[in-house]
Amino acid sequence: MKAALWYGKKDIRVEEIEEPKVIKGNVKIKVKWCGICGSDLHEYLGGPIFIPVGQPHPLTGNVAPVVLGHEFSGEVVEIGEGVTNIKVGDRVTVEPIVACGKCPACKEGKYNLCSLLGFHGLCGSGGGFAEYTVFAEDYVHKIPDSMSYEQAALIEPIAVAIHSIRMANFNTGDTAIVLGSGPIGLATIKCLKAAGASLVIVLQRKSIRQEYAKRAGADHVLDPNEVNIAEEVKKLTGGLGVNTAFETTGAKIGFDIGIDSLKYGGTMVITSIWEGEMNFNPNVLVFSEKKIVGTLAYRHEFPATIAQMSDGRIKSDGYITKKIALDDIVEEGFGTLTGPEKKKHVKILVTPDKSLLSD
């Protein structure tokens, strides 16, 4: 079968590899669509970050090259021994966490903080940029008939946003600033509106993404090149600042403006993956009892995400900006998302089945 493999920084290759075999407790999925994630881009531009190189991953035993892709949907074509909740023909999405199930975090139900954490599509257990993949039944979720496979490929990034909002202890009526309106930023805006935010402000430099942010539900979109965003936020909140900031840029400007825009006692949630270190003075927290919370992926959020997307509380319209074949993923996918046209795109979906492109 064909699959896209990460060999190294800026080295992704579409190759023929052996089709995976189903094993006990696992299901085999024929992939329909898989999104290119910001994490995939980080691995492409600055990796390895999550991908095991040199030292095998402790749970999969694999090293690069690995099959990429973790935001995917598909149809179950085979089930392994002991599988009871999933059957052949089920339409599904995958919560792509590889966890040990034995460490203290896993035993607490915080499997996304597993001491040996890996991600399907990054740690060598297979991935969604392939014709088929095999994964554990416990992390495979059925999708309703009313949800398209394309929509289902968006469940994973939207679950990231829902988890970050839960980690913020965000309440109905609270105010927020979202730093950046890339895929996770836009998902965060949509989820904040669904959560009953009274005000959502977005930091976004002038580009088409300002319009995307407004369509997602942003009340105000501010360009740091045009205004002092922290001052504008104070004006918009009666001099207080926002309850919560969501950092999705992975850049110091986003971090600094987010902290400065918070009200006393406010919380900054960092969802972004960083490629390097950053300095800041902890006094900005101490003098006003502001808090910084890190958030990684999701845990137990997939059912809620599926429910809210299927009943329309969280809308996915406008999220998909391009659909391509697996054969074209390097040039039309990663090339597009790292090239001069990157700001025009939110989510590029990839399919190994070219017939789906004509549907």
Would you tell me how many other CB atoms lie within 10 Å of the CB of residue 89?
8
The two structure tokens encoding residue 239: 């001099």
**3-state SS of 94-121?**
ECCEECCCCCHHHHCCCHHHCCCCEECC
Is the entire prediction scored with pTM above 0.85?
Answer: yes
Q: Which domains does the chain have, with CATH numbers?
A: 2-154+319-358 (3.90.180.10), 161-294 (3.40.50.720)
Closest-CA residue to 218 (of 269, 249, 179, 248) = 179
Cα separation of 161 and 357, whole Å? 28
Over residues 314-324, mean pLDDT: 92
φ, ψ for residue 98 (rounded to 5)?
Answer: -110, 110
Q: What is the pLDDT of residues 184-240, one digit of tens each?
A: 999 999 999 999 999 999 999 999 999 999 999 999 999 999 999 999 999 999 999
Over residues 77-89, mean pLDDT: 97
Closest-CA residue to 138 (of 116, 120, 162, 151) = 120
The two structure tokens encoding residue 78: 């085979």
Closest-CA residue to 24 (of 79, 80, 78, 87) = 80
Q: What is the pLDDT of residues 245-302, one digit of tens each?
A: 999 999 999 999 999 999 999 999 999 988 789 999 999 999 999 999 999 999 999 9
Q: Any bridge partners for residue 3, and if so which? A: 15, 130
Instruction: Determine the pLDDT at residue 203.
Output: 98
Instruction: Determine the pLDDT at residue 275.
Output: 78
Cβ burial of 68 (10 Å; 0-12, 13-18, 19+) is buried
Omega of the bond leading into 96 within 30 degrees of 0 (cis):
no
Over residues 329-333, mean pLDDT: 97
Over residues 337-341, mean pLDDT: 93
List the 175-179 sheet strands across, edge first. 220-222, 199-203, 175-179, 242-247, 262-270, 291-294
C-beta of residue 117 within 8 angstroms of C-beta of residue 98: yes
Q: Any bridge partners for residue 35, and if so which? A: 71, 349
The two structure tokens encoding residue 209: 């993404």
Instruction: Determine the pLDDT at residue 317.
Output: 86
Instruction: Determine the pLDDT at residue 216.
Output: 96
Cα separation of 67 and 113, whole Å? 22
Confidence category of residue 144, pLDDT binned at 50, 70, 90: very high
